[in-house]
Amino acid sequence: MDIRLTHQSIEEVAGDALIVGAALKRGESGQKKLALSRVGEAVDRALGGLLSELYAGGEFKGEVGELASVYTMGKLRFRRIVVVGLGALEKVQPLQLLRACSTAARHLQSTGAHSIALACDLQGASLDEEMQVQAEIEGALLGIYTFKKYKRSHTNGNGRGIEQIQVMVERGSHYEQALERAVALAEATNFARDLVNEPPNVLTPTELANRASLVARQFDLDCQVLDRPQMQELGMGGLLGVSQGSAEPAKFIILHYRGAPEREGSDLVLVGKGITFDTGGISIKPAERMHEMKGDMAGAAAVIGALYATAALKPAINVTVLVPTTENMPSGTAYRPGDILRIMNGKTIEIVNTDAEGRLVLADALSYAIEKEHATTIIDVATLTGGIVIALGNTIAGLFCNDDMLTHDIIKAGREAGEKFWRMPLDEEYAEAIASEVADIKQTGGKPASSATAAKILEHFVGNAKWAHLDIAGMDYIDSKKPYQEKGATGFAVRTLAELILARADS
């Protein structure tokens, strides 16, 4: 993919299509008026006011993601112009801009465009211009993503996808850092989407470890993969217990990025749930939609993806990624309801439902973060509970955190990445539901407040560290095609974590 900034004028740049942004602003009389991007205004003049006529005639209303195409008839070196709506000018945020550019780029790819240009940055928007440039590039790269490697007959448009993206910026402006960040964040997100979209017969725990090792080799990171004997020596009873029913061996992946080698230890430890297929085990799930359980490693994909972006951008910070990965399968050797498992930190958990396996593997990983990495700040990411989907739907991810500043930083990073989080309660009363008569903790507190009681279980394994738990169930996958994205993995949380890491490195 050829992605570049250009300072050329509208008369000089050529391509199959140009995407221009259009928002709505209030005039002096209070009436809504069309607000085109700087390049959009030049295009409108070159085409004799055609874009303004589309709005005046009611053919284009400027709503977020709305598209209108016009052909230049040789008046410009682009065959056509696509106007994309961005909504109210004063309310334009990264998410709206990102999705609008995703929608436009995706539409153009489906209709056979190979070379496109972006010109969606708006004067007077609440976002600074650098953030706008980053969002429009990210949006285009996320929008043209497809996962068709197993379809023999797949083509984009007339046989090829988009191969060149030019970003039109003003002369004298310097947005190279925005371009670099956008490409790194989008590539990392699409890498995570590939992992989640892979079929479970391909992406086994061993293959997930192989993919993590490839990232380590690409960016010269430290990588270690623990096998069963090493896990036994460490006492990882949760991960080993869940893996008992599977013929696929469990793995424990450790990645280190050392951007500040003069400092000892990690400034941040990321933990990702890596269940590469979840049948529910003995407490087996219904057959309907079980095939989507290949995505139960979306938390692992998110933290590996975040490290991918971090390593590409090289901030001065130390980050560790830990991924406990296994399948959860029913068999004669599977763990059972009624079992008691001992976690690495010595605490015991009474098993109630083998489909609540994520908290068991995360418990070992969090214990490892405290005991071996001496973590002071931990963020874990997991498709942990169906309860969070009941609470927040498919719009916002749940955020459980024991530190107000860390909560603030994650929500802020999410806002900049166009990803939403809502802080959920960790009140001590929820601990009553997970009290066990035969072990230190009971594995599940039942359906009431299930996402909160699951988080309370994880809290037992984070010691005195600042800790956040991101429950991304419902956010990791969309089950129907959207104008801005195909059905499948979203790569949710990759960009939020990367933005957080970059902000911490700059502070």
Catalytic residues: 285, 359
End-to-end Cα distance, the chain: 33
Q: Residue 348 pairs with which residues in a beta bridge?
A: 342
Dist. CA 88–CA 126, nearest whole Å:
11
Q: Which amino acid is at 403?
A: D
Under 8 Å between Cβ of 466 and 377: yes
| Phi and psi, residue 466, nearest 5° | -70, 130
Q: Residue 350 pairs with which residues in a beta bridge?
A: 340, 442
Q: Which amino acid is at 188?
A: A
The DSSP code for 485 is: B
The residue count for the chain: 507
Dist. CA 427–CA 445, nearest whole Å:
14
Work out the angle between the directed axes of helices 298-313 and 176-197 (0-180°, nearest 10).
Answer: 150
Quick one: which of 280, 150, 271 has its CA closest to 203?
A: 150
What phi-psi label fits residue 220: left (phi over 0), alpha (psi between -120 and 50 degrees) or beta? left
What phi-psi label fits residue 487: left (phi over 0), alpha (psi between -120 and 50 degrees) or beta? beta
Quick one: which of 365, 335, 356 has its CA closest to 473?
A: 356
DSSP of 386-443: THHHHHHTTT-EEEEES-HHHHHHHHHHHHHHT--EEE----GGGGGGG--SSSSEES
